[in-house]
Amino acid sequence: MDIHKMNFKPVNVKYEKIFLEDDSVLVVTKAKKLMEFDENTYTKLIDKEFHNGTIEVQVRSRLLADAPDFARGFIGLAFRIDEKDSAFESFYIRPTNGYSEDLVRRQRAFQYFSYPNYTFDYFREKGITKYEGAAAIDLDEWIDLKAVIQGTQGEFYINDKHVLTVKDLKLGDSKGAVGLFVDIGTQGYFKELKISYLD
């Protein structure tokens, strides 16, 4: 379905529908909480609740002109978003880390987190690294993200390559909306959003 024909609600972001290289594209930029990480900053689909199934979207990330030094082009998916936008699961990428000369940063090219209690800050403080890893990605290129969700398990893919299994989704076997997530310093482009619902 054409992403321009989907109904979205912005949550701490602003968005616009544009055509880029003849494709229907949604451009999303963080609007509030500008200096806080891993917050509820997404535009979410308001048509249907998601429980189990597959979410796939192509993303492209650019840094804003005023992006801080620690910006990484954060962009990705939010899913099982509750009605109050107070809890959700997320899988996102950090494109600037894909080919970084810093080997530690290179191992942090993607991230799973769960809002509000299991942010990446929480994982870092606890020394938990199993929810992030390396990926050959970069800024300003189209990247395919896919999440396959079943019960309390998530399988995540970047450009058709399986990169992460999460067997303990932190919100459990929950339900909620699907969203397009961005974070600090990112101008995020999204197209070809496809969702299959198993139930």
For 11, 112, 164, the CA distances from 109, given in Å and listed in that order, are: 25, 11, 12
CATH of the domain at 23: 2.60.120.560
Report the C-alpha gap between 146 and 55 in whole angstroms.
Answer: 6
Q: What is the mean pLDDT of each run of 10 residues along the chain (199 residues)?
A: 93 96 95 71 93 98 87 94 97 95 91 94 92 96 98 98 98 98 94 96
Whole-number pLDDT of residue 120 = 84
- Domain span at residue 137 reads 3-197
Give start and end residues of each alpha helix (H) in 59-148: 103-106, 120-126
Q: Are 28 and 190 in contact (CB under 8 A)?
A: yes
Give residue 148's identity as a one-letter amino acid code: V
Whole-number pLDDT of residue 34 = 54
Whole-number pLDDT of residue 32 = 66
Report the C-alpha gap between 184 and 155 in whole angstroms.
Answer: 25
pTM score, two decimals?
0.95
**For the chain, how many structural domains are there in total?**
1
Whole-number pLDDT of residue 33 = 59
